[in-house]
Structure 1
Amino acid sequence: MSTPLKSTPLVAPGHTRPVTHLSFSPIQDDGTFLLVSSCKDGNPMLREWTGDWIGTFLGHKGAVWSTKLSLDASRAASGSADFTAKVWDTYSGNPIHSFPHNHIVRSVALSPTSSHLLTGGQEKKVRVFDLSRPDAEPDFLYDSGVLSHDGMVKSVVWAGDHTGVTAGEDGKIKWWDLRTRKLTTSLVFPTAITSMELSPQTQRLVVTSGNTVAFIPVLSNGQGTHSLTLGYSPSSASVHPILQDRFVTGSLGDEWVRVHGMDGEEREVLKGHHGPVHCVEFSPDGEMYASGSEDGTIRLWQTTPGKTYGLWQGSGN
Structure 2
Amino acid sequence: MVASYLQKKGYKATEAIFSREAKGEKISLDDILGEKSTNIKDEQQEADTSADSKQHQEEEEEEDPELYDLNYKNLREWIENSLDWYKPELRSVLFPIFVHSYLDLVSKSQLEKAKQFMDTYKRDHVELHTPDLTILEAVTEPHHILENELAQMYKNNKYNLRMSGVPFELFLNYLQDNKFMLLLRIVNQYLNIQVVHGKLLKSAGGLELDGVIGITGHQTQQLEEFNRQPVQLGLNQLDSNFKEEIENTLKEIDRAKKEENSKNDNFDQSEPTISLLDTFKKYVQEYTADGPAPDDIPLPPYRGTDITAQVEYLKSIHHRLPLSQSSLPSICCYTFHNTHDSLNCIATTKDATLIAGGFSESYVKIWSLKGEKLKSLRNTINPAHVNDYNDLNRQKERHGSEYKKLVGHSGPVYGLSFSPDKKYLVSCSEDKTTRLWSTQTFTNLVIFKGHNSPVWDVDFGPYGFYFATGAHDRTARLWSVDHINPLRIFAGHLSDVDTVKFHPNSKYLVTGSSDRTSRLWDVQTGNCVRVFTGHTGSIKTVAVSPNGRLMASAGEDKSIMLWDLGSGKRIKKLTGHTGFIYSLSFSADSSVLVSGGSDNAVCVWDVNTDSTNATYMDTTASQNSFNNNEPKRPRLDDNEINRKSKRVHESQERLAVFPTKLTPLYDIRFTDRNLCIVAGAYTPQKANEH
- So what's the TM-score if we normalise by structure 2? 0.36
- Cα distance in 1 between the residues matched to 2:585 and 2:661: 21
Does structure 1 conserve the Cα–Cα contact (< 8 Å) formed by 2:333 and 2:677?
Answer: no
Shift of 1:21: 2.5
More moved, 16-25 vs 163-172: 16-25
Query: Among 93, 103, 116, which residue is 2:466 paired with?
Result: 116
- Cα distance in 2 between the residues matched to 1:12 and 1:212: 26
Does structure 1 conserve the Cα–Cα contact (< 8 Å) formed by 2:345 and 2:358?
Answer: yes
Matches for 1:12-31 after TM superposition, within 5 Å: 12-13=336-337, 15=339, 17-27=341-351
Match of 1:76 in 2: 425
Match of 1:3 in 2: none
Match of 2:520 in 1: 175
- Cα distance in 2 between the residues matched to 1:259 and 1:90: 32
Match of 2:669 in 1: 282
After superposition, the C-alpha distances for 1:133-177 in whole angstroms (9 at most, x for unaligned) are 22x4653123xxxxx310110111121222111110111111111
- Cα distance in 1 between the residues matched to 2:407 and 2:554: 31
Match of 2:364 in 1: 44
Identity within the alignment, %: 15
After superposition, the C-alpha distances for 1:21-47 in whole angstroms (9 at most, x for unaligned) are 2332223xxxx5433333323222323
- Cα distance in 2 between the residues matched to 1:206 and 1:51: 34
After superposition, the C-alpha distances for 1:84-106 in whole angstroms (9 at most, x for unaligned) are 11111111111111122311100
- Cα distance in 2 between the residues matched to 1:288 and 1:47: 18
Report whether the alignment pairs 1:238 with 2:561: no
CA-based RMSD: 3.0
- Cα distance in 2 between the residues matched to 1:102 and 1:139: 15
Can you give the 5+ residue segments of structure 1 that lack an aligned partner in the other structure?
1-6, 143-147, 297-317
> Are residues 294 and 43 of structure 1, via their aligned partners in 2, closer, same or farther at CA, if it must alter by over 3 Å?
farther
Does structure 1 conserve the Cα–Cα contact (< 8 Å) formed by 2:562 and 2:573?
Answer: yes
More moved, 185-194 vs 171-180: 185-194
Query: Among 127, 131, 136, which residue is 2:477 paired with?
Result: 127
- Cα distance in 2 between the residues matched to 1:50 and 1:170: 41
Amino acid at match of 2:361: D
Match of 1:229 in 2: 575
More moved, 73-82 vs 49-58: 49-58
Does structure 1 conserve the Cα–Cα contact (< 8 Å) formed by 2:501 and 2:542?
Answer: yes
- Cα distance in 2 between the residues matched to 1:264 and 1:233: 18
Amino acid at match of 2:497: V
Query: Among 656, 659, 665, which residue is 1:270 paired with?
Result: 659
> Are residues 287 and 111 of structure 1, via their aligned partners in 2, closer, same or farther at CA, if it must alter by over 3 Å?
closer
Match of 2:597 in 1: 250
Match of 2:60 in 1: none
Match of 1:55 in 2: 404
- Cα distance in 1 between the residues matched to 2:440 and 2:478: 25
- Cα distance in 1 between the residues matched to 2:654 and 2:552: 17
Can you give the 5+ residue segments of structure 2 that lack an aligned partner in the other structure?
1-330, 373-401, 607-651, 685-690
Match of 1:150 in 2: 494
Shift of 1:273: 2.6
> Are residues 190 and 16 of structure 1, via their aligned partners in 2, closer, same or farther at CA, if it must alter by over 3 Å?
closer
Shift of 1:71: 1.0
> Are residues 261 and 139 of structure 1, via their aligned partners in 2, closer, same or farther at CA, if it must alter by over 3 Å?
closer
Report whether the alignment pairs 1:211 with 2:558: yes
- Cα distance in 2 between the residues matched to 1:230 and 1:278: 15
Query: Among 78, 91, 102, which residue is 2:452 paired with?
Result: 102
Does structure 2 conserve the Cα–Cα contact (< 8 Å) formed by 1:18 and 1:294?
Answer: no
> Are residues 72 and 212 of structure 1, via their aligned partners in 2, closer, same or farther at CA, if it must alter by over 3 Å?
same
Match of 2:284 in 1: none
Match of 1:145 in 2: none
> Are residues 83 and 246 of structure 1, via their aligned partners in 2, closer, same or farther at CA, if it must alter by over 3 Å?
closer
After superposition, the C-alpha distances for 1:208-234 in whole angstroms (9 at most, x for unaligned) are 1312113345x5363463421225233
> Are residues 181 and 231 of structure 1, via their aligned partners in 2, closer, same or farther at CA, if it must alter by over 3 Å?
closer
> Over alpha carbons, which structure has the higher Rg?
2
- Cα distance in 1 between the residues matched to 2:339 and 2:545: 27
Report whether the alignment pairs 1:293 with 2:681: yes
Amino acid at match of 1:228: L
Does structure 1 conserve the Cα–Cα contact (< 8 Å) formed by 2:471 and 2:496?
Answer: yes
Query: Greater helix share, 1 or 2?
Result: 2
Amino acid at match of 2:500: V
Does structure 2 conserve the Cα–Cα contact (< 8 Å) formed by 1:18 and 1:295?
Answer: no
- Cα distance in 2 between the residues matched to 1:57 and 1:115: 22
Does structure 2 conserve the Cα–Cα contact (< 8 Å) formed by 1:109 and 1:158?
Answer: yes
- Cα distance in 1 between the residues matched to 2:340 and 2:587: 30
Does structure 2 conserve the Cα–Cα contact (< 8 Å) formed by 1:230 and 1:264?
Answer: no
- Cα distance in 2 between the residues matched to 1:78 and 1:272: 29
